[in-house]
């Protein structure tokens, strides 16, 4: 997967900010998320494998991802430099999930 963009409703992430989304999902949710978050993670990963150029993350799923993404951001923020692609991804991924929760629109991940 090349450069990946993320958006949701009125929110448009920075160009290619979600390129590290697979790593972020694996490290934030796959390794330490709740059972519900891990189910969402598995569904997203399956969708990514099957999709041609984009996936949708529905508002309920996005809401489930917010706590493990925030916790992960707090954990890696201490060790990672400001140019770390995971942090770049997290900023926009969390904002997209928060927007999905408020605006009841799906998060769109496009590559």
Give pairs for 53-56: CB < 8 Å, separation 24+.
Answer: 53/110, 53/111, 54/108, 54/109, 54/110, 54/111, 55/108, 55/109, 56/106, 56/107, 56/108, 56/109
Nearest to 85 by CA among 14, 33, 31: 14
One digit per residue, the tens of pLDDT, for the chain of length 111 reads 569 999 999 999 999 999 999 999 999 998 888 999 999 999 999 999 999 999 999 999 999 999 999 999 998 876 656 689 999 999 999 999 999 999 999 999 999
Q: How far is residue 62 from each of residues 17, 29, 79, 91, 109, measured CA to CA in Å?
A: 17, 12, 26, 14, 12
DSSP state of 12: E
């Amino acid at each position: 997967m090349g450069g990946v963009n993320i958006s949701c409703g009125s929110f448009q992430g920075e160009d290619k900010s979600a390129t590290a989304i697979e790593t972020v999902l694996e490290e934030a949710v796959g390794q330490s998320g709740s059972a519900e978050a891990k189910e969402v993670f598995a569904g997203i990963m399956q969708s990514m494998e099957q999709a041609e150029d984009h996936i949708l993350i529905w508002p309920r799923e996005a809401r489930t991802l917010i706590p493990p993404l925030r916790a992960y951001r707090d954990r890696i923020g201490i060790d990672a430099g400001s140019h770390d692609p995971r942090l770049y991804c997290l900023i926009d991924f969390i904002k997209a999930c928060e927007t999905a929760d408020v605006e009841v629109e799906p998060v769109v991940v496009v590559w």
